[in-house]
Structure 1
Amino acid sequence: MKSPFQVLLNLFPRPFLIQISLLLRPLLVFAYKGKTYKDPIDGKTFSKFLPYGYEKQRPNVLSPSTLSLERHRLLWLYLKQKTNFFTQPQKILHFAPEQAFYKRFKSLKHLDYTTTDLNSPIADVKADICDLPFETNSFDSIICNHVLEHIEDDEKAMKELYRILKPGGMAILQIPQDLSRAATFEDDSIVDQKERAKIFGQYDHLRIYGRDFFDKLRSIGFDVEEVDLTSELRDSEIDYYRLAKGEIIPVCFKPA
């Protein structure tokens, strides 16, 4: 039997759920107050996190305050600990801006921060990732997370990301990953939404990326670092921040 969270995720459009969750957030913060787990994005602690997932529910992963998931908290820690993102003036392009990051990144005065998406109401520029309206070599950094699995021609999208990134620039391209797979799995013959959700995790996902994802990025021209930040953390820290142990952050650089 599906939990109430799964029913909501499958019944209502994501923008509507985001609006509702923002209204409920103060209540969630109060209901889940405690010291057991910490969201590093805002520094708040909780007795537990909420469950999340369209098909398979992951318990204790959705932060009551920022509504961040494992990947968001992992990226925040990486940007804080391993980059100059929070100190160095730079021009940033953020695809499909996540609620956990949007206002925080926008408030950083040293960032020239632009958001883009085809449908998001908070995107500064409405654009197709496969045909972007930006000049070549425009951005110092690009954040494009959990987008490519939705794109039919992901190779064309990767080439556009490479084109608009400045030489020496960094692109973080997180995706849902199954590192037990050597090769990415796609099957366009599966058209039923329920069946696609069962196989791909969401009805609008077009593939399950395997380990070959990193080499595909390299074939475009990127220098790719497969960063496992959790390998540098104690198990107690991974649990405290509610991270996914072994999750790889694809950090891509355009050669200077």
Structure 2
Amino acid sequence: MLIQLSILARPVIYQIFKGDRFTDPIDGKSYRKFLPYGYGKQRENALSPGTLSLERHRQMWLYLKNETDFFSKNIKVLHIAPEQEFLRRFKKMKNLDYTSADLYSPIVDVKADILDLPFEDASFDVIICNHVLEHIVDDRKAMSELYRVMRKDGWGIVQVPMKNSLAETYEDFSITDPKERQKHFGQYDHVRWYGMDYFDRLKSVGFEVDINYYSQNFSENDQKRFALQKNEILPIIRKL
């Protein structure tokens, strides 16, 4: 219901926020401002009024458009816990054999536990799994499932909340109270803050990993225009 209401409200929202200071590359529309967003301290101009995209979503979209054949090649895609704007757009793309999956969401194609995916080995060319693993205690098991269902020469994007200043991931599974989890891990339902050893975890199950600061490919003016975070990492995985 909330998703449908947000879609219906978009024409009104656009009229309120339209301008020329910011551009959302996902819908191509320009706005005078974006909305603040964040748990605790909020980031200014983070949330696009049109697509409800955040910095990480816009960075991923730009990467897919500029650096891959995602929008033109016939490929089989698995999208875990899909963002609503991506789900809506990807399902319309005729070149994609697109499957969305989640354990709880009512809008996905398949109800699935990332720890035990109901797909055969080597089923997908591309896997997108953003801001999921920080919720999973046995994240290596989840990573190994993603590796299992990815085809050889396949690739994917697996974003997580990270602190680039942390060499090692901070996790403590004895912390179960939602308020304490928000205090320690940034959100009430997270079980860790990932550090730079996140990429070692991905490598440990077999993936090749590209630690890609894709936003830095753009000029400072374009970083501001698209409202990107300069030091946000786009983790790209490959199965060779």
> Structure 2-normalised TM-score?
0.97
* 8 Å Cα contact 1:224/1:252 also seen in 2: yes
* 8 Å Cα contact 1:55/1:198 also seen in 2: no
| Aligned AA (1:93) | L
Matched, 1:25 2:6: no
| Aligned AA (2:115) | C
Shift in alpha-carbon separation, 1:19–1:52, aligned structure 2, 3 A: farther
Matched, 1:94 2:79: yes
For residue 88 of structure 2, give the secondary structure of its aligned residue in structure 1: helix
| Aligned AA (1:246) | N
| Aligned AA (1:124) | D
CA distance in 1, matches of 2:6, 2:171: 32
Shift in alpha-carbon separation, 1:197–1:18, aligned structure 2, 3 A: farther
For residue 123 of structure 1, give the secondary structure of its aligned residue in structure 2: coil
CA distance in 1, matches of 2:104, 2:137: 16
Cross-structure match for 1:176: 161
Within 5 Å, which residues of 2 pair with 1:30-179? 30-179=15-164
CA distance in 2, matches of 1:20, 1:50: 18
Mind listing any 5+ residue stretches in structure 1 that lack a counterpart? 1-15
Q: Among the aligned pairs, what percent are the same residue?
A: 57
Within 5 Å, which residues of 2 pair with 1:176-195? 176-195=161-180
For residue 199 of structure 2, give the secondary structure of its aligned residue in structure 1: helix
Q: Deviations for 1:172-197, whole angstroms, at most 9, x for unmatched residues?
A: 10111111000000112222212211
For residue 37 of structure 1, give the secondary structure of its aligned residue in structure 2: strand
Shift in alpha-carbon separation, 1:20–1:56, aligned structure 2, 3 A: farther
Q: Deviations for 1:186-227, whole angstroms, at most 9, x for unmatched residues?
A: 112222212211221110011000000011111111011111
Shift in alpha-carbon separation, 1:245–1:19, aligned structure 2, 3 A: same
Stretch deviating more after TM superposition (53-62 or 170-179): 53-62
* 8 Å Cα contact 2:48/2:54 also seen in 1: yes
| Aligned AA (2:109) | D
* 8 Å Cα contact 2:137/2:173 also seen in 1: no
Stretch deviating more after TM superposition (52-61 or 69-78): 52-61
Stretch deviating more after TM superposition (78-87 or 49-58): 49-58
* 8 Å Cα contact 1:174/1:250 also seen in 2: yes
Cross-structure match for 1:224: 209
CA distance in 2, matches of 1:201, 1:25: 29
Alignment partner for residue 215 of structure 1, among 200, 205, 218? 200
Once the two structures are TM-superposed, the CA of residue 57 in structure 1 deviates from its matched residue by 1.1
Shift in alpha-carbon separation, 1:57–1:124, aligned structure 2, 3 A: same
* 8 Å Cα contact 1:72/1:100 also seen in 2: no
Stretch deviating more after TM superposition (188-197 or 86-95): 188-197
Moved over 3 A (4+): 16-24
> Structure 1-normalised TM-score?
0.91
Q: CA RMSD in A?
A: 1.2
CA distance in 1, matches of 2:32, 2:96: 34
CA distance in 2, matches of 1:210, 1:37: 30
Cross-structure match for 1:4: none
For residue 169 of structure 1, give the secondary structure of its aligned residue in structure 2: strand
CA distance in 2, matches of 1:90, 1:64: 30
